[in-house]
Chains A and B, each alone.
Chain A
């Protein structure tokens, strides 16, 4: 495997969170990275064919991406991530992704690393072990890891900075309706799942803020206000984004893929506990009908704008 120089990265799931870390890491080790194309119908169809029926939509999309890298790289990178810190979990699909791919496509060469911080398996040790497996000496490996972490940190900070510069504009000077779209990065950044939603909202002249660009540690801490006991790292970030932005947005849209267990809990929790801001839940599956999505989003925005106008009128009259 060490003769090959190309690592395939599926543009799916945690790629949308960790692409800076991963691409920098492999490139520092002297490998080229090949990323699968943005999700399209064919990727989805292949994924649907490969996955068991009960898989969630992102998992189906993921398998389609892995399959699309076949023949374009020497090995596909699929990490096995069980927990990112001692007290939290991540969704079981991140735990199972590597083994699912290995069993679904047994002939496909894979590389992986494990993270299970709750049980003492740390990212740093695992990534250094992977570097050794890929033929790197200890010095190169450590340097690659350090640079990868720095690149990821820089990227995360830039995202937060961009979002906050947007939010600097006070609500009074704002002409546009501002909506927070809450959903996993792998859904919101996906060409087929989340992008059409964000684009449609922008076409309605809505200013869109998303949970993907939130300050993650801050969000995880804030999530306790909405739920002190939720254990999933990524759902904590989403709840934290709701908590962080609820006072500066006019509405919240929760984008949930079918049949996500953690998200269904989170959506219900938001619908019940967020009473000061209108909340809508949009559930997306592979049979998505764009017309239905548009009807629901357009009417949600109409209602929010009608309310804003009424409030504005009352202010002018008073």
Chain B
């Protein structure tokens, strides 16, 4: 029986997971939409991973979670390690490209840059509140143009003279885009202009003041858009590496971190047959009125967070355990 390590990266838009062997090879992987329900998504991920491991004689002995739902899914899976996505992405990418010096990452609502030197992350930046220039920006523009977002990159590549689009803000970009269409620009040039706008916006925001040195690796959902990749190459003057498994880097990184903890506990895929329920409650114990969220496994309280003090969790725990089991 070989040991395996499960890493799950639950983002706002997509959920990614891998099982790796002790030598870091990927034994199973899955990528699917979170659809606003991280628990259901993680159950589907587990259902997809288990058959891939059939016959491989592997036992998962440690679990790690990352991404914006990392705490929730960490509790559901009983994870040994729960870590932020920047660290996870850096770890995963370093395992494939030990010499990487810059990581671009553009996801559904986040964009980030990680600067590494000698195999160690030394600097990073993340977008602020605004999601301009991320995947959700691209998909809303593609809807407006009536082009499936998957074909966006091909349209951009057919353009010979990209038009200039203001990428600073989704609202302005949209009015700019409509204006450019109305005065007769070809749709290909508009799409290519949008890809340029994404890149310029990225470099002027999260990339501001960072030294972008090769090798550059580009990850996140938007890296699947060849138009944006080409724009990055042209504008930065560097070759930009996009791995086929680039979308799995967070999951791979967190699996490696789970392996590194050394803590082991046999993981049971049967966890997907249990009923997990999340409930949110306003504590009401003091004027802070914290929004406390907690998870029940088959009606039993397993974890909760969101409280600023210990009493809040105890209060909801008592309420939860007293409450009738649902589902």
Contact = CB atoms under 8 A, between A and B. Distances in A.
Interface of A: 37, 40-43, 192, 196, 271-272, 278, 283, 287, 290-291, 294-296, 298-300, 302-303, 306-307, 310
Contact of B288 (A40, A283, A294, A300): A40
Given A196-B308, A296-B126, A303-B121, A42 B289 contact: yes
Given A271-B209, A298-B87, A42 B121 contact: no
Interface stretch (B40-48, B78-86, B226-234): B78-86
B120 A299 contact: no
15 contacts: A37-B287, A41-B289, A42-B287, A42-B288, A290-B306, A298-B87, A299-B87, A302-B86, A303-B86, A303-B120, A303-B121, A303-B123, A306-B120, A310-B119, A310-B120
A126 to B, nearest CB: 34
Contacts of B306: 290
B84 A303 contact: no
B83 A298 contact: yes
A287 B130 CA distance: 13
Interface string B124-139: 1010110000000000
B118 interface: yes
A1 to B, nearest CB: 29
Contacts of A283: 128
A222 B86 CA distance: 35
Given A43-B287, A294-B84, A303 B122 contact: yes
Contacts of B123: 278, 303
B54 interface: no
A307 B122 contact: yes
B122 to A, nearest CB: 6
B287 A41 contact: yes
A49 to B, nearest CB: 14
A295 B85 contact: yes
A85 to B, nearest CB: 34
B84 A41 contact: no
Nearest to A37: B287
Interface in B10-40: none
Interface string B276-296: 000000000011111000000
Interface of B: 68, 83-87, 118-124, 126, 128-129, 209, 286-290, 306, 308
B121 A41 contact: no
Contacts of A295: 84-86, 126
A306 B121 contact: yes
Q: List the 10 closest A-B pairs by CB distance, nearest first.
A: A42-B287, A299-B86, A40-B287, A302-B87, A40-B288, A41-B288, A298-B84, A295-B84, A310-B120, A299-B84
A196 B232 CA distance: 38
A291 B68 contact: yes
Nearest to B126: A296
Identify which of B121, B129, B288 gathers the most chain A CB atoms within 10 Å of its CB. Answer: B288
A303 B83 CA distance: 13
Contacts of B129: 287
B83 to A, nearest CB: 7
Nearest to A298: B84
Most chain B C-beta atoms within 10 Å of own C-beta, residue among A290, A291, A299, A300: A299
B159 to A, nearest CB: 36
Nearest to A295: B84
Contacts of A41: 287-290
A290 B292 CA distance: 12
Contacts of A290: 306
Nearest to B110: A295
Contacts of A296: 126
Contacts of B83: 298, 302
Given A196-B308, A306-B120, 9 more contacts: A40-B288, A42-B289, A278-B122, A283-B128, A299-B84, A302-B87, A303-B87, A307-B122, A310-B118
Nearest to A313: B120
B84 A302 contact: yes
A115 to B, nearest CB: 33
- Interface core residue of A41, A42, A287 (most chain B CB under 10 Å): A41
Contacts of B290: 41
A289 to B, nearest CB: 9
B209 A307 contact: no
A40 B308 CA distance: 10
